[in-house]
Amino acid sequence: MPQNRLRVSRLVSSLSSVAESLFATLFPSDCRLCGTPLVNLSRLPVYQPCLTNIQPITGGLCTKCGERVFRPYIHGSEASEARCGLCRRREPAFAKAVAYGSYDGGLRELIHLLKYEQVRPAAAVLGCMLAKGLSGLGAGWIRGPVLVVPVPLHARKLRQRGFNQSELIARVAIKPHALNPAAGSGRLVLSPGVLERRRETQSQTGLTRHQRPENIRRAFAVVRPAEIVGRDILLVDDVFTTGTTVSECAHVLRRAGASKIYVATVARTLKADARGLDLRCDSAGAERILAATG
């Protein structure tokens, strides 16, 4: 009996290899990120090196919102005190925001595959990236069960797309095998119905700094307030651009009684790489970009 099982296993493996080769020959496919021909069957049409090239954000970042911070903005002798100009002028509604990578290149294309081309397997990769990004919240941020709230889509958009990409990504990210053990695996509770988008809004892309808050104002509401009173919340979205959307959600959750709001996104837009700029302070201490070095 064991020998028969072994023969069957080898036969299945052999047939699978033949099927993959035949599929690649008859139905050639290219990587959706770089165009390289793919020779193996995969639910995610992306060349593995393209995924490997997607790296986490490094360098000096704002300790509140995760924006790029240049040297003159760092207060004191420790980088842990760094704040961007916006967070210095106005305290965010959330305790801290983190992201895995910069919203450009392969990561941007991978997110678009999920959102606009309905390639759902991309959610698994993006979810694992989000789980790694959670390490940026530091040790001890989970003080008890934390509710994980995906930023919701409007009902019409949800029907059109068929899924909420933020929820799919969050489901993968909070699985025990995806989380860093130090992050408190098992104490993150997905609660996708807590927050609702009641008003359909236009895309924030292309709007001015003053138009964005008006566009999103009063678009969200807490529909199950009893679940969040006194609780810490992890607000999850795919991309942090200007922060207007997550800030509005955080304000709504806080008004409904939530304790602390943390924000985690797979990607975020960043200022120019500080390594490509010569940044100095003038005699009044004001930041000036003197030259581009890259």
Question: Distance from CA of residue 179 to its chain's centroid?
Answer: 14
Determine the pLDDT at residue 281.
38
What is the count of structural domains for the chain? 1
Helix (H, G, I), strand (E, B) or coil at 273: coil
Residues paired with residue 291 on neighbouring β-strands, in sequence order: 278
Determine the pLDDT at residue 216.
80
State if pTM tops 0.75: yes
Residue 203 falls inside a structural domain = yes
Residue 261 falls inside a structural domain = yes
**CATH code for the domain in which residue 123 is found:** 3.40.50
Residue 156 falls inside a structural domain = yes
Q: For 2-137, where are the alpha helices, taking DSSP H only? A: 2-26, 48-52, 85-89, 105-117, 122-133
Residue 4 has pLDDT above 80, yes or no: no
Determine the pLDDT at residue 223.
95
8-state DSSP, 76: S
Residue 21 falls inside a structural domain = no
Residue 65 falls inside a structural domain = no
Residue 53 has pLDDT above 70, yes or no: yes
At 70, the pLDDT band (50, 70, 90 cuts) reads confident
Residue 34 falls inside a structural domain = no
At 40, the pLDDT band (50, 70, 90 cuts) reads confident
- DSSP-assigned states of every residue in 106-174: HHHHHHHHHHHH--TTHHHHHHHHHHHHGGGG-TT---S-EEEEEPPPBHHHHHHHSS-HHHHHHHHHT
Residue 30 falls inside a structural domain = no
Give the E-state strand segments of 142-286 in sequence order.
146-150, 188-190, 195-197, 220-222, 233-240, 261-268, 277-281
Give the domain extent around 159: 92-275
Residue 51 falls inside a structural domain = no
